[in-house]
Structure 1
Amino acid sequence: MMLSFEINAQRRSEFGKGAIRRLRRKGFVPAIIYGVKKEPVPLTLSHDDLLKRLELEGFYSRILTVNIDNQPEKVVLKDLQRHPSRPAVMHMDFQRVSETEKLHRRVPLHFTNEEQCVGVKQSGGTVSHHTAEVEIRCLPKDLPEYIEVDLTNIKLNEIVHLFDLVLSEGVELVALAHKDTERNLPIVSVHLLRGAKAEEESGEEGAAEGEKQQEE
Structure 2
Amino acid sequence: MAASYELKASARDRVGKGAARTLRREGLLPAVIYGDKKPALPITIPLKETTITLHKGGFLTHIGVIDVDGKKHQVIAKDFQLHPVRDDIIHVDFLRVSKGATLTIEIPVHFLNEEDCPGIKKGGVLNIVRHTVEMTVPADNIPESLEIDLAKAQPGDSLHISAVNLPEGCQPTITDRDFTIATIAAPAGMKETDEDETEEEAEGEAE
Q: TM-score, normalised by structure 2?
A: 0.84
What runs of 5+ residues in structure 2 fail to find an aligned partner? 201-207
Matched-pair contact (CA < 8 Å) for 2:31–2:42: yes
CA distance in 2, matches of 1:83, 1:148: 32
Partner of 1:212: none
Judged with a 3 Å threshold, the aligned counterparts in structure 2 of structure 1 residues 193 and 124 are, in CA distance, closer, same or farther, namely closer
Matched-pair contact (CA < 8 Å) for 1:5–1:59: no
Superposed CA offset, 1:40-87 (max 9, x none): 211101112121121133112121221222332111112211111112
Pairwise CA RMSD = 2.1
Judged with a 3 Å threshold, the aligned counterparts in structure 2 of structure 1 residues 119 and 12 are, in CA distance, closer, same or farther, namely same
CA distance in 2, matches of 1:197, 1:57: 39
CA distance in 1, matches of 2:97, 2:162: 27
76-85 or 63-72, which moves further after superposition?
63-72
Q: TM-score, normalised by structure 1?
A: 0.81
Give 3-state SS (helix, strand or coil) of 1:163's partner.
helix
- Say which of 169, 173, 193 aligns to 1:201: 193
Give 3-state SS (helix, strand or coil) of 1:120's partner.
helix
The answer on 1:85 being equivalent to 2:85 is yes
Partner of 1:100: 100
Matched-pair contact (CA < 8 Å) for 1:33–1:93: yes
CA distance in 1, matches of 2:87, 2:123: 40
Give 3-state SS (helix, strand or coil) of 1:86's partner.
coil
CA distance in 2, matches of 1:106, 1:61: 8
What runs of 5+ residues in structure 1 fail to find an aligned partner? 209-216
Matched-pair contact (CA < 8 Å) for 1:129–1:188: yes
Partner of 2:12: 12
Equivalent position amino acid for 2:38 in 1: K
Partner of 2:55: 55
CA distance in 2, matches of 1:117, 1:186: 18
Partner of 2:183: 189
Equivalent position amino acid for 1:130 in 2: V
CA distance in 1, matches of 2:86, 2:142: 32
Equivalent position amino acid for 1:168 in 2: P
CA distance in 1, matches of 2:71, 2:10: 10
Equivalent position amino acid for 2:8 in 1: N
Total equivalences in the alignment:
194
Equivalent position amino acid for 2:180 in 1: P
Q: Could you tell me how far 1:107 is from its partner in structure 2?
A: 0.9
CA distance in 2, matches of 1:142, 1:193: 40
Partner of 2:204: none
30-39 or 47-56, which moves further after superposition?
47-56
148-157 or 9-18, which moves further after superposition?
9-18
The answer on 1:140 being equivalent to 2:139 is yes
Partner of 1:163: 162
Identify, as 1 or 2, the structure richer in helix: 1
Partner of 1:45: 45
